Amino acid sequence: MQAKTKIIFLFFAFIFQFTDAFSQVKEYFIECDPADFEYIYGHFEEDIYIPISFTYDGVTWTDTEMRIRGDGSRYLPKKSLKVRFNGNPFANGRDKLNFNAEYEDKTYMRAFLSSRVFRMTGQKCFDTDFARLYLNGDFLGLYQMTENMDDSFLEANGYDPAGNLFKATKDGACLSVYDDLTNFWEQKTGSGNKEDLALLIDEIDQVSINDYPSFCTDNFDYGQMVNMIACNMVLSNQSTYYHNYYMYHDVNGTGKWQMLPWDLDKTFSLYSWRNHTYSSARWTHDNPYLEKAILNQEMMEDVEVRANEIFDEVFNTDILWPMMDSLIAALQPSVEQDTTDDIENIDEWLEQVQTEKNHVAIFDTKLNWYFNHVQSSFTAERTPNPVPQDVTFNWSPSVDPDGLPVEYHFYLTSGFEFEPELTTIYEGIGDTVFTIENIEPGDYFWKVVSVDGDGQEVESFDSKNPLKVTIPNYLPCEISEDMVLIKENSPYLVNCNIEVMPGAKLTLEKGVEILVQQSMHILVKGGFAVNGTKDEPVVIRPNNESISFDSLVFINPDQNIDLNYLTVIDGSINARYANIEMDYCKLILNTKIMVLPNVIYGNYWGNGTFNNSTIIGNGTGQGLEFGWCGSVVVENSDFHNIDDPIELISVNEGWVKNNFVEYSSDDGIDFNNCINLVIENNRIYYCNDKGITIGNEFNGPSENILILKNLIVDCTTGITVKDGSSATIDRTTINGCEVGVKIWEKNPGQGASYANIINTIISNTSDEAVYIDEISSADISYSLCNTEELAGTGNLFEEPLFVSIPANNFLLQESSPCINSGDPESEPDPDGTRADMGMFYYNFGSYNVIFNEINYKSSPDFYTEDWVEFYNADEVVADISGWEFKDKDDDHIFEFPYGTVIYPGQYLVLCSDAGLFSQLNPDVENYIGSFPFGLSSGGELIRLYNHTGTMIDSMEYGVENPWPTAPNGQGPTLELRSPLFDNALPESWCASENYGTPGKVNSCNIYQQPENDAVPFSAQIYPNPASGIVYLKFISEMAGTLRMDIYSDDGRLNQSTKNNISGDGPHLFIINTLYDQGIYIVNLKFEADSAIFYENLKLIKVE
């Protein structure tokens, strides 16, 4: 009784506070050029900012801009607006305000009330308020001011503002493998190029329905996820899962994800006629975040319980009706005055509000009827594409909870939205298998709808399945002469065992697809080449998704084998006496169950490289196995859910570097009888046995193995050295294993083992940090352990102080005892300091990284938002992990993520909107983003700090003469004329050609050299460095004209000469000796035989 009294008291206190807060709508005043406003209304599809002044409560902001905002709402007569504050922030501390027109909500209340409902259930949600807008003194209309979702929102709601916040910005952003990440998703805060979002989408796609609750517990805040889904169901928010929401990734903390609500104007009664199973529109794919929760009975029960709690606590007439009555009184004068909305009169508005009040009164009963009486959701099995004309479709059963019969309607369409005139419907299907014969070749979509006795319809997941039907070309069983397969004739069907004979070569060009019937193989004794590309890989897969084929086999082929961008699905690769290079390949097991021989890719008595490639297993079979090979390289590759992902037997040349391994039911990397090999910079997670094994397996011990800079997390044993083997373990991080390092004789008679452990972190072991049996030995020095003291020189018994173990961020905090505590005799870290302990060194580096190009105001016809380009003017790789980019505001920070490097003489583009940038610059790959603030079009200070807070570069660009003026919205960017120039000086900069040169040499770079063949001459400056006379020695067998221009590091041309070259011997030229001390560039331009050749040489003058 006492608790109930308290709830009633809090309820009335809330209602009183709410009613008092909305007695009057706030007013905001916008001044701008009327022609500008008319222009953006006429060009509403573009994000064009116009200058405005903005006044509220007597205070005016002048350095402000405004544009049209929204997605589909842009096409409505009354448009939503976004105001951006480039100088001082608004009164609430924010630099962006959103004013939503709410044209399609004739109550003006749905988004406002829905955001309150979310927040009252404990869900973090944007705030809303109402606003009367005035334009140039005239009343523009009633709007809803909606809080911007950005770093300020994150910080205000207790989230890390440096986390990754992604907006589902376009229809089709469904967390589906069919999503267009570039165009449908926008990164608002954090770092990276949406790699983590892409990984999440892939993992959601791959996880089974049964495993979905545990997956969500590991990757999401499970309670928040259930609350989010339940809230959306209670609010009938069925317009959300394909474009109106955000995804937040706490990359620096828990490592988990959350979905956040957005754009709630299509809630309450609007879609309440739909049952709770819908997650998409007819023009988009389904969202597996919701669909798999509905399909899992355990999760669906949790959602139902939470939904009814929300009805009891929030979504009821006691709570919402008083709020709605208060809004009626506050909004009515503005609704009457607004002539731009879709409301004819006040009576219509009041009628619409009453409809929503009635909805609040009855919807709990309606939703529970859906829960209790609508048949279950079900899954449609994807069809592999392309397929022949006879196609069998499969789906799981849909079950009616009342025991009513369920039939299925099958839809096959050649349209995108299942348009009636393009769609064939097959009704009255009682089975979950359906075959259609002789489908005309073409592109289709298909879906299945279950219909119960009450007429309720539930669509399959997915409700938009792509289908490509083609007439296949059959490959001959014997290929005895060269054959080239091309995309235009795909797919090719293999219906017999194929043999490529000696002397013949089978070439697969980009985009080729080969369908292999069950148990068939392709045997190569001649040549075999795959020439796929990133956008058009070559695919070899079964002709039916439910089966597998045998293998791709190479037996003593008479040619080297090159496989580029090859994807093999549900088949294996086996090779004997073959030299095979694989680059950018994927080997994927879905249905194929590996039995002896159980290796996905085995290569024996040959040579092999496996670079930039991926193996995704299904828990059966080993990954790579190289045995008795001359040379093996495995580099930059990923391995998931495989036994022994990487195993080498009797290999004595090569390395295993820069790979990612996770979820092995055995070891991660396994060496047996290997000598003089390197295991470097690999990341290994969640192995049921060992992360790395150095052993024997009765083939002889492994010797002189270097295990350098590896990360091993949550394995049973981190590293094992066994059976007479030896290894050095250097700068490696081992965390969360039962045993860190195990050195022993596993099989009697195989001999004592030895390990030299140095500069290594062994942390959070549950059993033993280092186990050494009675006959084996180890030297341990300059290493750290936090569970036990390690005997040896320089060892530490302390906490390593990683940035965040839950987020798998094993970078060292600034106060970590591992910093500069490694062996002083070891090679220094890349930043030149004493070696740190562990895989990841703390970067003190002050590399010569400079601002090289700036896009501070895009033109309307090429609107990429702001970006800056950095150039590494050093001669070493610049690791800028943890560095910070800032403008003049110290609170505006972008932190470069771990692993961000710029190679010597190379570029990196940092974007404020990576999605827009990549959409308009599809050929640029060396970019990251998005930084959560803009660059001023009035000139601004920009700064770059390294990991320790030391300023590396800073400059304040201008927008008026003497600075180039064209970059201020006219299309060109601001380009540095040379990396040697002082970028603080306006004369060092120029306006670019076209829309700039992101990620490559600047268009006005005085040292730019057009691409040409190898120069037909040799040129040498000597002595160099020089203090006196300097000579240029020039040798060419061709006659021509040589022009020599010499520039100082401030861009001044110091000398220019032109000489004829006879082509009959060396020519010697004197370079002016009057130059001051410094660096000079000697630019050579040689014209000969109707061609022009360039080369730049560096001259260093000393005193």
Check if the beta carbon of residue 400 is closer than 8 Å to that of residue 375: yes
CA distance 6 to 18: 18
Do the strands 551-555 and 572-576 form a parallel or antiparallel pair, or are they unpaired? parallel
Q: Using CA atoms, how far apart are residues 758 and 727, in angstroms rounded to an integer?
A: 11
**Residue 596 pLDDT:** 66
Given this model, what pLDDT does residue 1051 score? Answer: 54
Per-residue DSSP letter, 498: E
Q: Which of 426, 360, 329 is nearest to 23 (CA)?
A: 329
pLDDT for the residue 275: 84
Secondary structure class of 806 (helix, strand, coil):
coil
What is the model's pLDDT at position 1053?
Answer: 66
Three-class SS state of 738: coil
The residue assigned the tokens 């990984």 is: 199
Give the pLDDT confidence score for residue 1009 in this predicted structure. 47
The 257-261 sheet, strands edge to edge: 185-189, 164-168, 245-249, 257-261
Residue showing tokens 């910005």: 169
Contact residues for 289 (Cβ-Cβ < 8 A; gap 6+): 175, 204, 241, 259, 279
* Nearest C-alpha neighbor of 896 from the set 843, 964, 939: 843
Q: CA–CA separation, 501 vs 555, rounded Å?
A: 11
Beta bridge partners of 748: none
Look up residue 1007 and give its two tokens.
């040292």
Cβ atoms of residues 216 and 225 within 8 Å: yes
Which are the contacts of 210, defined by CB distance < 8 A and separation ≥ 6?
296
Q: Cα(777)–Cα(744) distance, rounded to whole angstroms?
A: 8
In this structure, are residues 864 and 992 in contact, taking their beta carbons and an 8 Å threshold? no
Q: Give the CB-side neighbour count of residue 164, counting CA atoms within 13 A.
A: 27
Residues of the chain with pLDDT under 50: 1-17, 19-21, 1009-1012
Per the CB < 8 A criterion, the answer to whether 449 and 409 are in contact is yes
pLDDT of 875 reads 66
The predicted pLDDT at position 16 comes to 44
Q: Where are the beta strands (DSSP E) in 717-816?
A: 717-722, 726-730, 733-735, 739-744, 754-758, 761-763, 768-772, 777-781, 784-785, 802-804, 809-812
Cβ atoms of 413 and 423 within 8 Å: the answer is yes
Tell me, what's the pLDDT at 943? 95
C-alpha closest to that of 854 among 925, 927, 911, 777 = 911
pLDDT for 635 equals 93
* DSSP assignment letter at 918: H
Contacts of 527 (CB under 8 A, 6+ apart): 482, 500, 504, 505, 506, 507, 557, 558, 559, 561
How far apart CA 668 and CA 445 sit, in angstroms, is 40
Give the per-residue pLDDT at 1052: 61
Distance between CA atoms of residues 691 and 702, nearest Å: 16
Looking at residue 1066, what is its pLDDT?
Answer: 76
How many Cβ atoms from other residues are within 10 Å of residue 107's Cβ?
27
Provide DSSP, 83-150. EEESSSPPTTS-SEEEEE--TT-TTS-HHHHHHHHHHHTT-----EEEEEEEETTEEEEEEEEE---S
Give the pLDDT confidence score for residue 626 in this predicted structure.
96
Say if residues 792 and 770 touch (Cβ distance below 8 Å): no
Kindly give the pairing relationship between strand 478-479 and strand 498-500.
parallel
Three-class DSSP category at 641: coil
- 3-class SS letters over 500-535: ECCCCEEEEECCCEEEECCCCEEEECCEEEEECCCC
Query: What's the helix, strand, coil split of the chain in %, to 5?
Result: 15, 35, 45
Rounded distance between C-alpha atoms, residue 135 and residue 308, angstroms: 45
Tokens of 231: 């809230």
